[in-house]
């Protein structure tokens, strides 16, 4: 049996404690958390105790972990604005990198990451977790039966607290609501809707028209994003996201094809989250293989993502979500911002 991948964690905050940890614990033969880095001692204590990491392998500075820990790979789960810096440092240490989204907060920084990955010849992946729920995986498989995609749309509308601001006492709220730290509705939330509907459309986005604005919350970043995208093959998709408008059916995407339609509640991993339409049968709920096993608990797709990624690392295969794919998602976001400022469609080839 292949030895488990020795994993170091850069960042041990809420997403690690509430989501990543569940994935690592479900894959005991594949990965072993052996070192941690976080500036908050309480985070080190909680996560270190969860994985029985020795005190000597709990670091406040991730650079010390990279220099001293015996690790094969790292995950980066820190605020957006330091992802690129930490990824580049990790490439210099020669370890594989799995970064939370986005890979950077600018295309310039994203390109610097990709250059460092190439220069140091290390594996690099970015977490696009909602592609790996059972719901989405089965939905993507259904596309083969439905013909050519012609139109898609996705929506992730929500209502943040009225005090959701850069001055909030909750650190996670503070950086998400800060332009300087890479926050905002489109990059923190709508990011998922962009890659989800993009996967269903089966053609990369080429042109973006959009309005990305701050309409309600007292923050210096956007609280609403509306995108109209034209794909390379001429098909069309839309993305709607908000922090200032509630929705009864949070998080869905759909694709309409030459022979039918598919609707996926991609932010859920539940038996009633996948619907298919054909002219002969109308809308019907599809059974999703795997839900009969009540032990399977993966509402966000992180277990599926990490399982696929660690398997690729072990086998020396290409990462399931590559740096190039993550850069494409970031380019769509940058194009949406430029389209808002210039009131014109942005050609991604310009970026």
What residues are paired with 224 via a beta bridge?
213, 242
Query: Considering only the top CATH level, what class is 130-298+327-350?
Result: alpha beta
The pLDDT assigned to 139 comes to 94
302: pLDDT confidence band, cut at 50, 70 and 90? very high
For residue 317, the 8-state DSSP code is P
- Range name among 33-37, 99-103, 156-160 with the lowest pLDDT average: 156-160
- Range name among 100-104, 286-290, 332-336 with the lowest pLDDT average: 286-290
Query: Considering only the top CATH level, what class is 5-126?
Result: alpha beta
Give the mean model confidence (pLDDT) for residues 159-165.
81
pLDDT tens-digit series, residues 209-258: 999 999 999 999 999 999 999 999 999 999 999 999 998 888 999 999 99
pLDDT tens-digit series, residues 117-151: 999 999 999 999 999 999 999 999 999 889 999 99
- The segment(s) of the chain belonging to CATH 3.40.50.720 are 5-126
Q: Determine contact, residues 114/107, Cβ cutoff 8 Å.
A: no
What distances in angstroms separate CA 61 from CA 11, 16, 85, 89, one per listed residue?
Answer: 10, 17, 13, 12
72: pLDDT confidence band, cut at 50, 70 and 90? very high
- The segment(s) of the chain belonging to CATH 3.30.360.10 are 130-298+327-350
Give the mean model confidence (pLDDT) for residues 78-101.
98
292: pLDDT confidence band, cut at 50, 70 and 90? low
Residues 74 and 36: their CA atoms lie apart, in Å, by 9
């Amino acid at each position: 049996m292949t030895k488990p991948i020795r994993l170091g964690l850069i960042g041990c905050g809420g997403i690690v404690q509430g989501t990543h940890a569940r994935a690592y614990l479900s894959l005991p033969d594949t990965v072993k958390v052996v070192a941690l880095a976080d500036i908050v001692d309480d985070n080190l204590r909680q996560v270190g105790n969860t994985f029985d990491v020795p005190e000597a392998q709990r670091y406040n500075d991730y650079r010390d972990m990279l220099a001293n820990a015996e690790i094969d790979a790292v995950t980066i789960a820190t605020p957006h604005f330091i992802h690129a810096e930490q990824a580049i440092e990790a490439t210099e240490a020669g370890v594989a990198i799995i970064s939370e989204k986005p890979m950077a907060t600018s295309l310039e920084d994203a390109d610097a990451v990709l250059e460092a990955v190439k220069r140091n010849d290390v594996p690099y992946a970015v977490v696009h977790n909602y592609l790996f729920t059972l719901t989405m995986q089965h939905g993507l498989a259904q596309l083969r039966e439905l013909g050519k995609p012609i139109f898609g749309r996705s929506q992730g509308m929500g209502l943040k607290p009225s005090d959701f601001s850069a001055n909030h006492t909750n650190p996670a709220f503070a950086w998400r609501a800060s332009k300087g730290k890479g926050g905002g509705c489109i990059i923190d939330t709508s990011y998922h809707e962009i890659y989800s509907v993009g996967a269903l459309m089966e053609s990369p986005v080429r042109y973006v028209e959009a309005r990305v604005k701050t309409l309600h919350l007292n923050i210096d970043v956007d609280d609403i994003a509306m995108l109209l995208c034209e794909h390379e093959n001429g098909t069309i998709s839309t993305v709607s996201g908000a922090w200032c408008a509630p929705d009864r059916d949070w998080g869905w995407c759909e694709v309409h094809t030459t022979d039918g339609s598919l609707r996926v509640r991609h932010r859920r991993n539940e038996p009633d989250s996948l619907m298919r339409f054909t002219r002969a049968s109308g809308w019907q709920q599809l059974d999703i293989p795997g839900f009969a096993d009540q032990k399977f608990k993966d509402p966000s797709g992180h277990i599926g993502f990490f399982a696929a990624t660690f398997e690729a690392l072990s086998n020396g295969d290409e990462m399931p979500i590559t740096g190039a794919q993550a850069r494409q998602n970031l380019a769509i976001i940058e194009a949406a911002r430029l389209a808002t400022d210039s009131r014109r469609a942005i050609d991604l080839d310009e970026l």
